[in-house]
Amino acid sequence: MRKLLVTTSLLVLAACQTVQPIKTTASGRPEAVFAGETSESVSNKIAAGCMSKGLLIKESSSSMVVCGKTMEGGEAVLAQMLVGNSYSTTPEKSIRFNIVSYDGSVRVAAYQWFESQMAFGQVNRQELNSGNHFNDVQNFLYSLGGK
């Protein structure tokens, strides 16, 4: 019942303040193309950018970077009510950047989520796909030189 009330409240609040994504992409997620770069250099740029924003690098290779951090404050409380309970871990917000080289360019697509691990090990995950979340990551990719 509590989860239903929280979910309904979040949906009502989200409906009141709808932000449109700044770009339409094939995947529906933030994407950018880095012309004349290698996948290794783009991976390093993304990892350095994550670190400069206070995120931890969870995984890094020339084809993928995963970074994130433990949520705090009211954001963590709302996220925990949505995907967890009082016995679950504090939710963590993560972003995975998929990196693909082709025709002298590198294409990056991002996927965002938060998750919490329950008492018996089950992990509950919720995608972050609002216009605000999309725009934050899209602008991050632009700030690194993506087009």
Report phi then psi at 41, rounded to 5: -70, -35
Mean pLDDT throughout 85-100?
91
| pLDDT tens-place string over residues 1-49 | 555 444 545 554 554 567 888 888 888 999 999 999 999 999 999 999 9
Pick 86 or 63 by higher pLDDT. Answer: 63
Write down the pTM of the prediction: 0.82
Report in angstroms the alpha-carbon separations of 111 from 9, 44, 79, 104. 25, 18, 17, 24
Q: Distance (Å, rounded) from C-alpha 94 to C-alpha 111? A: 8
The CATH fold assigned to 2-143 is TATA-Binding Protein (3.30.310)
- Residue-range domain boundaries for the chain: 2-143
- Helix ranges (DSSP H) in 17-130: 39-52, 73-83
Pick 81 or 62 by higher pLDDT. Answer: 62
